[in-house]
Every structure is written in structure tokens, then in C-alpha cells.
A and B are shown apart, each in its own frame.
Chain A
Amino acid sequence: EVQLVESGGGLVQPGRSLKLSCLASGFTFSNYGMNWIRQAPGKGLEWVASISSSSSYIYYADTVKGRFTISRDNAKNTLYLQMTSLRSEDTALYYCARHTDPYWGQGVMVTVSS
């Protein structure tokens, strides 16, 4: 069974950093490109970042470029999102998602507030 389990969320002050993780199982993680997608409370869905299977290609939404870093460790079947210089508008539920043959995790909440 395919599973994506996010972790690392929480309450953080503006300007601080946070690192999210997503542990994958049930499929060959190293064969798939992966995405981070977020949803602010009461809002729609926003793509955040993508990484190819071998980390050769990495892309970011303009809203997070220069502040967020997506990475992966295929040996550990884990996807990461390092978030720095966090802003209140980054408050959202963050989902880890497989790109091809889509599959999403349950999400992890990030709240940026003083």
C-alpha cells in the first residue's frame, strides 16, 4: 500500500525556520518526482515545489523561491522541505505528493505566528 507520511510541522515565529519531512513507502520512491503542495486555512490548493526522481530538476513557486528548499534522500525514502524566513502567509497545511500517478499524504500543519 502506498503511504506518504508528513511530519515536522508546528507553530513557529515569523522569520524562523522549519523543516518538513515526508516518509514514503509502498512504492519505489527513487523512481518518482515529488511535490509539496499547501492549503492555507479556508483557501484553495497551491503548488509549492517539485523535485525530480534523482534531484536533477528542482522548481519552486514564486511565493517561496529563495526561502524554501526541497530535497530528497532516496536511500531513506524521504522528501524534505526546508522553510526559512517564514511569514504569516506561509501558514497552511502542507502536503507531500507523488507527481506521476498522483498520491497525496494526509498533510502537516504549519502555523507562523508570534
Chain B
Amino acid sequence: DVVLTQSPATLSVTPGERISLSCRASESVDTYLHWYQQKPNESPRLLIKYASQSISGIPSRFSGSGSGTDFTLSINGVELEDLSIYYCQQGNSLPYTFGAGTKLELK
């Protein structure tokens, strides 16, 4: 199984700063890597698909990069509404695994 390791587990942020979240795969997933945001008591919301493709309706401050085993989700100018948990998921090979998540909290 492909193991996705997200780091850091928790990130303390200040509104307005630029941050990067990491997702590393134990083997190549090409660009079949998606990023989700989940707020309490809500279903996950797709932020970035296929490593770097933007999603309609998602603010432009969210961007993704990477391929193979190393991926990054960047938020350019964190806002208070971005405080939530972020998950990566690989859709390249079964089972379609998820990372354990990175929680953004207020510094």
C-alpha cells in the first residue's frame, strides 16, 4: 500500500502569512494526488486535484505542486477561515490511501 506522510501534523499560523504543507508518498503516485480541506462537522472539500489543478470556486490563494513522491499544498496569505484539517489522497493505486492530515491552528 502507498503510505502518505503529511507534515507537519500541526501548524500554527498567523493570518496573512504564506505556508506550505507537505505530503510524501512511499512510492510514486505520478500526479494522482488530491488535496482536501475539512472543517469540523463538514465533509471534505476538494481544494486541488491531480497535484496542481485548481478547482472552480476555490480561492486562488490555494495552490498545489509536485509529482512522483513529493507534493506541496501552499496557501498564499492564510485567512482565519482556512483554520481546518488538510488531507492528501492518492488515486494512483489501490487501496486509495489518505494522509493522516495537517491541522492548521492559530498562533
> Are A47 and B100 in contact, CB atoms less than 8 angstroms apart?
no
| Contact of B64 with A by CB under 8 A | no
Interface string of B59-101 (1 = CB under 8 A from A): 0000000000000000000000000000101010011111111
Interface range on chain A (Cβ under 8 Å from partner): 10 to 19
> Are B91 and A99 in contact, CB atoms less than 8 angstroms apart?
yes
User: How many Cβ-Cβ contacts under 8 Å join chain A to chain B?
Assistant: 38
Interface string of B21-61 (1 = CB under 8 A from A): 00000000000001010000001101001000000000000
| Contact of A11 with B by CB under 8 A | no
B-side interface residues, number (CB < 8 Å): 17
Bound CA–CA A35/B90 (angstroms): 13
Q: A101-B49, A102-B34, A102-B49 are in contact. Are A47 and B43 (CB under 8 A)?
A: no
Chain B residues with Cβ below 8 Å from A99 are 91, 96
Nearest B residue (CB) for A101 = B49
Tell me which of B43, B95, B96, B100 contacts A95 (CB under 8 A): B43
| Contact of A105 with B by CB under 8 A | yes
Q: A44-B87, A45-B87, A101-B49 are in contact. Are A106 and B98 (CB under 8 A)?
A: no
Chain B residues with Cβ below 8 Å from A95 are 43-44
| Nearest CB in chain B: distance from A109 CB, A | 11
Q: List 9 A-B contacts (CB under 8 A).
A: A44-B87, A44-B98, A44-B101, A45-B98, A50-B96, A93-B43, A95-B44, A102-B49, A106-B43
Known: A95-B43, A102-B91. 20 other contacts (CB 8 A): A44-B87, A44-B98, A44-B99, A44-B100, A44-B101, A45-B44, A45-B87, A45-B89, A47-B98, A59-B95, A61-B95, A93-B43, A95-B44, A99-B96, A101-B49, A102-B49, A103-B46, A104-B44, A105-B43, A106-B43
Spell out A's residues near B (CB within 8 Å). 35, 44-47, 50, 59, 61, 93, 95, 99, 101-107
